[in-house]
Amino acid sequence: MPKLILTRHGQSQWNLENRFTGWWDADLTEKGEAEAHKGGVLIKAEGLAPTFAFTSYQTRAIRTLWLGLAAMDRAWIPVEKHWRLNERHYGGLTGLDKAETAAKHGKDQVHIWRRSYDIPPPPLAPDSPYNLADEARYDGVPVPEAESLKLTLERVLPYWNSAIRPVLESGKDTIISAHGNSLRALVKHLFAVADETITGLEIPTGNPLLIDLNDNLLPTAARYLDQERAKDLPDLP
């Protein structure tokens, strides 16, 4: 049966600065690079050898994958990048310090924007310095103005069905290096997590989540490889 490895990127510079990042292309910190390398070491030590990889268009996820694959001696495997695996777009919150935003708008309102399933934050202003619509990498891509987790799932799921699922159905062990919310969306889908529960799921940076799948690509077992940094997982479907 195929195995799926989900890896959230290592710590980014904006994670360190406690800023809303979303689609902005913050790079890894030294700690993030170390987390990514360690993730690859743990995967190799487990005896796993993924043969196909997916990642987003964002540098922190791409470099996490590079560093992990290098640590596995598997930098040669095919890698497919797609914007649909990007982080949730935080709209008008992009670039803001999370603590300062809570002080300005109130903790309850910021909690709703961050943790509700279907309420997006305010849209990004067209003249924002964080507007990426004209970036070459997003040529022809419908860059959102803001996304809830529900909207994130709605753009991740078609890519799962059209690209990732067929690779797994062919029997290839697969690794996905992506982001807290795009991976949270996949976990919601795979484990059939309720809307009111999924927003409380935490996915640690740089800690590979190993999921065993059956022939129907339903999880039969799941665990983090770095148990010291593991978070609670949803029940199996």
**Alpha-carbon gap, residue 121 to 100, rounded angstroms:** 16
Domains of the chain: 3-224 (3.40.50.1240)
Is the pLDDT higher at 106 or at 152? 152
pTM: 0.96
| pLDDT, position 122 | 94
pLDDT digits (tens, 9 = 90+) for 22-79: 999 999 999 999 999 999 999 999 999 999 999 999 999 999 999 999 999 999 999 9
Strand ranges across the sheet with 79-81 = 79-81, 52-55, 174-178, 3-8, 209-213, 219-224
* Residue 82 appears among annotated catalytic residues: no
* Residue 9 appears among annotated catalytic residues: yes
Catalytic pick among 33, 35, 87, 147: 87
**Alpha-carbon gap, residue 89 to 22, rounded angstroms:** 5
Selection from 179, 178, 116 nearest residue 148 by Cα: 116
Can you say how many angstroms the Cα of residue 5 is from the centroid of all Cα atoms in its chain?
Answer: 12
